[in-house]
Structure formats: C-alpha cells, structure tokens
Amino acid sequence: MIHIPKSEYSRRRKALMAQMVPNSIAILPAAAVAIRNRDVEHVYRQDSDFQYLSGFPEPQAVIVLMPGREHGEYVLFCRERNAERELWDGLRAGQEGAIRDFGADDAFPITDIDDILPGLIEGRDRVYSAMGSNPEFDRHLMDWINVIRSKAHLGAQPPNEFVALDHLLHDMRLYKSAAEVKVMREAARISAQAHIRAMQASRAGLHEFSLEAELDYEFRKGGAKMPAYGSIVASGRNSCILHYQQNDAVLKDGDLVLIDAGCEIDCYASDITRTWPVNGKYSPEQKAIYELVLAAQEAAFAEIAPDKHWNQAHEATVRVITSGLVELGLLQGDVDELIAREAHKAFYMHRAGHWLGMDVHDVGEYKVGGEWRVLEVGMALTVEPGIYIAPDNQNVAKKWRGIGVRIEDDVVVTKTGCEILSHGVPKTVAEIEALMAAARTQAA
C-alpha cells in the first residue's frame, strides 16, 4: 500500500513549529466519532488537519505542539490500552504506541487531559487552535484557560493571544510534497480503474446504483477505505443536477450517464468525472456538447503552470464554452458581450475547479491580498468544466434539453505546466466508444 511515510509527519510538525512564534502552543483535537443512528457509528475518518500532523488514526486524541519544550515538543493525548474494549472494537496504540509508532515525545491518557493540559498551556503567551470549527473543543479549551486564570493570584500566567491555526496549517497543506503526490496519483489510478469498470458495465435497464457498485468494488479492491465523497451517478436529466446522489434511477437507452466519483487513499482524495452514453454510442447532440466540454478542459490545462494565476484556467473554459454555445446556436450574440454578462452561467454555473488534497474541496486561499493566487509547483487542483442544459429550458431546441456533461481530472502543478494524475480514464469520444464496444463484444 502506498502511504505517507512517518518521517513526513515529523517533518510537517517541525515545519509548523518553525512558523509559530516563540513561547507558543498549538492544540488540535481528533475528529469525533459520528453517530449514524442509535448505537451505529459512521465509518471513522480522522480530521484532516489532525491527520496531516500525526498520521494517528484514532478518535479521542489531542495533539499538543510546544516548540522549544525541553521535555519534548510533541505531546499526544490518546486512549489507554484496554483489553476489554480492544476485544470488541479493535486495537489501540495506547501511550506506548503513540511514542513508539507515531513519534510522540510524550504521551498521556486522554482521560487525564483536564489535569495535565492547563499545566502545559500555563506560561505560554500564544495558543494556536482551529477556533470556530469545533464548538465543543473550543469550550474545553476555554475551560483549561480558565483553570489557569483562576490560579493567577498564585502567580499562574494564562496566555493572552488566541490565534487561528488554519492560516499556517492550510497554507502548508496547499503545497503537496513528492510523497503526497505519490499517494494522490495512486488514488487517481484506482479511481480511473473504477470509472473504466463502470463504463464497461454500462447497459440500459440497469440502475444507477449498479454502476455505483462497480465503482465501490474497484475502490475497495484497490485498498481505499471509502469514497472521498458521495459518488454521483446521474443518468439522463439527473446529469443536470450538480450534486445528484440519489443514484436509483433506471439507465435508459439513448441517455448519457455522468459519474463523478473518486476514492480516498491514506486520507487523500481523487475527484474524477466522466460522462458517457448508456448504450455506448453518443448521439450527435451529446457528442457536440461533449466535445465542447473537452475542448474547454484542454484550454484550461494550457493555463495551468507556475506564474499563471488561479482564475486563468476558469477564464479559458468560459471563453471556449461561450463561443462553442454560440456556434451550436444555444446562445446568440457577440462572444465578448456574452462573456461580459456571464451568459454561460445558464449552462455552466460552477467554477472550473478547486484545490484538491486531504479534503476533496481542499483548504488553501484562492486569493491573496485581493488578487487571484499565482500557481506554484506542488499545488493540486481539479479541472472540471461542464455544460448542463436544463430539461425545461424553453430557449433551446428540444433535442438539446436534459443533456448534462462534465469532464473532471486531477492535476498537480509542475515546473513546466501540470501533471494529469487521472489520465488513466479514456476521455475522447472515440476512446470511450471503443472501450464500451469492446466490453459488449466480450460480454456477447
């Protein structure tokens, strides 16, 4: 299994601590276990920031980073070993494991945190935390601070500054290391296999969820614990619903099916969309829209390189789509004027992409000082133009209505341009039709 090596977690902690002001402390909680219903839990997924700094997979844990602390800069609070609980729920690292296997300098039982953490915070000037994203943890933090304040008359020194950790941490997460790119490449490779399998299985009469099952099969077989987000399997007019997730309609002969799905490997997402004909052959209208979206995507790739800014790829897609829609008669008027009044938004209402990483819509600022961010080596993003012609759009000829096409790939910025991580899925009309035809011949 391809994963982030331990040495990288240590490097990240050091890099973060190097940016913290002297005499400060950072405190981050693990994700809480989410209840699905009564005593059934959702599959546990570690908080991305917590995972980024520790690789520690358990709930009920707190990371404490104290740059310059003599007795160790990295303290981990976590669950104690417990033979009875481990018999039911699985192994725990315990404090020994936290030190031996996860590089903590010091580890304490999570049940002792109220007694120990105020003492660690005391005397530090500034506290970094993810303020506002976890109200329950914010309350705990204030309780610990108040313990110190209540002892001020005895000489205890509570911190005076509370700073959001996001600014430092999320900027670090935006730049992917070689190890991160490797994991993301693997997530994209498995997801590409999943899309191919769904294309091969596509038949009229099946349900959308049958294709979702093909995706899930490849994800799990590839070692992914789960999809990076709820898979979208949208056939026919459902393809015009951007985040459709019902996935229970019957696939109809003559319709397209849009699949937006990607798996997660070691907490890194992939996010791929392909749109293909249920019966293996695009109609002339479907093909025209598909090839326009593909041309928009190609134009966007050409605008992704160091020194180009974030919005250039989006602007390229808007230009190609607007002029293409005019050529097809779906928009009327002068292309520049149509762009100026954002006429494309009736058909293309989302942006050309987003940052990609541990979160599918990853962290990181899109603007810096009011200006679009300039791309740099290691930034990962999606490129996903689309055209969606609403089934009830009375302004276009009937033959176009209900066609929805999105094509989405994952890229990382390189010195010379970008690497397409998800290149493993066929994309041209000819490639997709050939793959589907071959699958039908084999099945017959």
φ and ψ of 320, to 5 deg? -65, -45
Nearer to ligand GLY by C-beta: 47 or 260?
Answer: 260
344 given a catalytic annotation = no
Three-class HEC string of 284-325:
HHHHHHHHHHHHHHHHHHCCCCCCCEHHHHHHHHHHHHHHHH
- Given 271, 359, 409, 410, which residue is catalytic? 271
271 given a catalytic annotation = yes
Report in angstroms how near the CB of residue 407 gets to Mn ion at its nearest: 10
SS3 116: helix
39 given a catalytic annotation = yes
From residue 165, alpha-carbon distances to 21, 26, 128, 157 in Å are 12, 8, 5, 22
433 given a catalytic annotation = no
Nearest residue (beta carbon) to ligand GLY:
260
Report in angstroms how near the CB of residue 393 gets to ligand GLY at its nearest: 23
CA distance 34 to 324: 46
Report in angstroms how near the CB of residue 51 gets to ligand GLY at its nearest: 20
Q: Which of 65, 82, 83 is nearest to 74 (CA)?
A: 65
Q: Which of 128, 114, 126 is nearest to 16 (CA)?
A: 128
x/- mask, ligand GLY, residues 379-418, rule CB under 6 A, reads: -----x-----------------------x----------
408 given a catalytic annotation = yes
Report in angstroms how near the CB of residue 228 gets to Mn ion at its nearest: 9
- For 295, residues 6+ apart whose C-beta sits below 8 A from its C-beta are 320, 324
Report in angstroms how near the CB of residue 197 gets to ligand GLY at its nearest: 19
Nearer to ligand GLY by C-beta: 199 or 352?
Answer: 352
Locate tokens 């276009």: which residue?
396
Q: Which does 229 bind (CB under 5 to 8 A by kind): Mn ion, ligand GLY, none?
A: ligand GLY
- Given 126, 140, 149, 354, which residue is catalytic? 354
Let me know: does 98 contact 76? Beta carbons within 8 Å.
Answer: yes
Is residue 409 a contact point for Mn ion (CB under 5 A)? no
216 given a catalytic annotation = no
Q: How many CB atoms lie within 10 A of CB 78?
A: 27
Is residue 218 a contact point for Mn ion (CB under 5 A)? no
CA distance 171 to 429: 38
**Binder to ligand GLY among 49, 208, 266, 271 (CB under 6 A)?**
271
Nearer to Mn ion by C-beta: 28 or 269?
Answer: 269
Q: Quote the Cα angle for 95-169-80, to 5°.
A: 15
Is residue 56 a contact point for ligand GLY (CB under 6 A)? no
Is residue 359 a contact point for Mn ion (CB under 5 A)? no
CA distance 212 to 195: 10
42 given a catalytic annotation = no
Q: Which of 230, 167, 222, 88 is nearest to 365 (CA)?
A: 167
DSSP 374: B
Report in angstroms how near the CB of residue 356 gets to ligand GLY at its nearest: 9
Is residue 410 a contact point for Mn ion (CB under 5 A)? no
Let me know: does 418 contact 298? Beta carbons within 8 Å.
Answer: no
From residue 382, alpha-carbon distances to 308, 356, 366, 387, 403 in Å are 15, 6, 13, 16, 22
Report in angstroms how near the CB of residue 34 gets to ligand GLY at its nearest: 20
Residue 109's region, left for phi above 0, alpha for psi from -120 to 50, else beta, is: beta
- Given 49, 408, 409, 410, which residue is catalytic? 408
In the region spanning residues 270 to 299, those forming contacts with Mn ion, defined by CB under 5 A, are 271
Give the interface size with Mn ion as a residue count (CB under 5 A): 4
x/- mask, ligand GLY, residues 196-235, rule CB under 6 A, reads: ---------------------------------x------
Q: Which does 214 bind (CB under 5 to 8 A by kind): ligand GLY, Mn ion, none?
A: none
- Given 36, 39, 84, 307, which residue is catalytic? 39
Is residue 191 a contact point for Mn ion (CB under 5 A)? no
Report in angstroms how near the CB of residue 90 gets to ligand GLY at its nearest: 30
From residue 83, alpha-carbon distances to 39, 44, 59, 91, 101 in Å are 21, 21, 17, 9, 19
Is residue 260 a contact point for ligand GLY (CB under 6 A)? yes
Helix axis angle for 284-301 and 310-327, nearest 10°, is 150
Applying CB under 6 A, the residues found at the interface with ligand GLY are 229, 260, 271, 354, 360, 384, 408
Catalytic center residues: 39, 243, 260, 271, 350, 354, 361, 384, 388, 406, 408
Applying CB under 5 A, the residues found at the interface with Mn ion are 260, 271, 382, 408
